[in-house]
Chain A
Amino acid sequence: MASGESVEVLNLKRLEDSTGGDTELIVELAELYIADTEARLPELLEAAEAQELERVGRVAHGLKGASASLGCDEAAAAFRRIEEMGRQGIGDDMDTAVEQAQAAWRRACERLREVAA
């Protein structure tokens, strides 16, 4: 993402649009997102450490999609960057990109918990 570009941790309009404002569905999807992405992150870390860039791209693609669907824009952008690096075979700075994505994901989970509470 370009420096200075402001990306929301949680885009509430997107979340509202995806769920039709159904609060029960928001709670269900928030729990589903946290559990699903938490289960997939270790594979991303493992693939990144092993420099298996194609696998990195594939796992990041899924994480990006899940994040974008719920309006977790910051996490989606971070995973998109990793996906592109994986697809283009760029291994340099992968550790930093993964760390940034994890941090964005944690913030997204935190906001989702607040909204779903």
Chain B
Amino acid sequence: MRILIADDQVIARRILEEAVGDLGHEVTVVCDGREAWDQLTATRYDVVISDWVMPRIDGIELCRRIRGRKGEPFTYVMLVSARNSTEDVVKGIMAGANDFMTKPIERAELRARLHAAQRAVDLERSLASRLIDLERALEEVAQLRSLLPICMYCKSIRNDQQAWDDIEEYLHRHANAECTHSICPDCYEQHVQPMLDEMHRSKKAS
């Protein structure tokens, strides 16, 4: 996974960098929440491991900003802090963190929590991919629905029960549209004018 680590404490940062790197992940480290936010607006990360107390933008504000993004791929956020009261954990999770880890970090615990993060990231990716497939399928259905089987001679339309409806009736039933009746110039020339001519001829003849 691509993992961003944000911690203003050099020792904690270096320990995390080494531990996460040893687990085979691609790691980027930054010194505070502002740098983390700048990184996140430029690059996609699967996981953010952020300290709580940091200058400029703290871990809580960083969580809120990450969750406030629209249309961005899912990012798993792990908040780390020496704070460990229930109140602190609740505040962190409510701000948007997926997980909360108490400092100092233990490697075995970090490994287990990153496994959980991997599962969540994989699940989110799979859901996002299925959502794209579903949207494509819906587009295709909409396209098929817009293709009407129409008789090339009488212009009747085949309905869902495989019966043939008059086009006016079909439009009324499916689009709630009523037709007004008129005659286009071509049809006037082709159908009406010959009838009128015939009527005049019959009148003269009689």
B18 within 8 A of A: yes
Given contacts A33-B11, A36-B11, A69-B15, contact A20 B107 (CB under 8 A): yes
CB-based contact A17/B18 at 8 Å: no
How far apart are the CA atoms of A88 and B78 in the complex, in Å? 29
Q: Which residues of B contact A32 (CB under 8 A)?
A: 10-11, 14
CB-based contact A18/B82 at 8 Å: no
Q: Which residues of A contact B18 (CB under 8 A)?
A: 19-20, 22, 25
CB-based contact A65/B103 at 8 Å: yes
* Count, A-B residue pairs, CB within 8 A: 54
B53 within 8 A of A: yes
B106 within 8 A of A: yes
Q: How many residues of A contact B (CB 8 A)?
A: 21
How far is the CB of A116 from the nearest CB of chain B, in Å? 14
CB-based contact B22/A65 at 8 Å: no
A66 within 8 A of B: yes
How far apart are the CA atoms of A64 and B104 in the complex, in Å? 10
Among A14-69, those with CB < 8 Å from B are 14, 17-20, 22, 25, 28-29, 32-33, 36, 61-62, 64-66, 68-69
How far apart are the CA atoms of A69 and B82 in the complex, in Å? 10
* Of listed A14, A32, A61, A69, residue having the most chain B CB within 10 A: A69
Q: Which residues of A contact B82 (CB under 8 A)?
A: 61, 64-65, 68
CB-based contact B106/A17 at 8 Å: yes
Size class of the contact patch on chain B = 10 to 19
Question: Which residue of B is nearest A76, CB measured?
Answer: B104
How far is the CB of B76 from the nearest CB of chain A, in Å? 23
Q: Which residues of A contact B19 (CB under 8 A)?
A: 18, 20
How far apart are the CA atoms of A36 and B12 in the complex, in Å? 12
How far apart are the CA atoms of A97 and B44 in the complex, in Å? 45
Given contacts A36-B10, A64-B82, A68-B82, contact A29 B15 (CB under 8 A): yes
Question: Which residue of A is nearest B10, CB measured?
Answer: A36
A70 within 8 A of B: yes
CB-based contact A65/B12 at 8 Å: yes
How far apart are the CA atoms of A18 and B104 in the complex, in Å? 8
CB-based contact A18/B15 at 8 Å: yes
Question: Which residue of B is nearest A22, CB measured?
Answer: B18
List 6 A–B pairs whose Cβ atoms lie within 8 Å, in order of A's numbering. A20-B107, A25-B18, A61-B53, A62-B8, A62-B9, A69-B104
User: Which residues of A line the B interface, CB within 8 A?
Assistant: 14, 17-20, 22, 25, 28-29, 32-33, 36, 61-62, 64-66, 68-71
